[in-house]
Amino acid sequence: MKTILSSIAIALAFGALSAHADVILYAVVDTHTLAGTTGYVDFQFNPGPLTTQSASLKIENFAGATYVAGSQVDTGGASGGPLPSTVTLNNSTSYNDDYESVKFGNTLTFALDFGGNAINAPNGTAVSGSSFAFSLSDAGGNPLLTNDPNGFDAVVNINTKGMVSYTLPSPSVTFAPEPTSWLMMGGGAFALLGLKLRSRS
């Protein structure tokens, strides 16, 4: 196994969500073209390079893919699991990652619950935000369902004011602030920092 580090500073178009309370996004991923195959899900949540407030992320209600026993790898501030049990990621180190092998079904769903001081109590002194990325890969570590050069299927950023914004490089992924509302939010621009792509060799 090897980790590919990418130095990312790319301006992307994001949807924006209001802050100062826990933010929950519900994800639906169309995986019908992968059904019956085995691959990997990768969740990471990393701080920016400068002073960053503490933030946390819970991955909850994971469904639609079956965990392959013995394949979970947690790095940095990742704990819990394996899927479908709740996985928690804290932005406590430069690289915080949960990486697990699964057998895909037709549709993959999960909730992302963002919290912590960076969202609920921005202090006005942080100069970097934090970034979350979700990736799918096949058994050989090759990205799935996306043409993003970094292999990401979904990216969520928290800025220094506690605002949560996202982009969806994969057309197979849909986000919403609640499971009954799959509306995309308005546009904006945001800098993506501190994410790293993991692959298998």
Q: Which two tokens stand for residue 78?
A: 């990742």
For 105-140, write each residue's pLDDT tens digit. 999 999 999 999 999 999 989 999 999 999 999 999
Average pLDDT, the chain: 83
Residue 41 reports pLDDT greater than 90: yes
Residue 5 reports pLDDT greater than 80: no
Q: Are 25 and 167 in contact (CB under 8 A)?
A: no
- Kindly compute the dihedral angle of the four CA atoms of residues 97, 52, 4, 147, in this order, to the nearest 10 degrees: 90
For 140-166, write each residue's pLDDT tens digit. 999 999 999 999 999 999 999 999 899
Residue 188 reports pLDDT greater than 80: no
Residue 147 main-chain phi, psi, to 5 deg: -105, 10
Which pLDDT belongs to residue 18?
A: 43
DSSP state of 143: B
DSSP state of 181: B
Give exposure, 44-58, as e/b (b: 16+ Cβ within 10 Å).
Answer: bbbbbeeebbbbbbb
For 70-107, write each residue's pLDDT tens digit. 999 999 999 999 999 999 999 999 999 999 999 999 99
Residue type, 99: Y
Residue type, 138: D
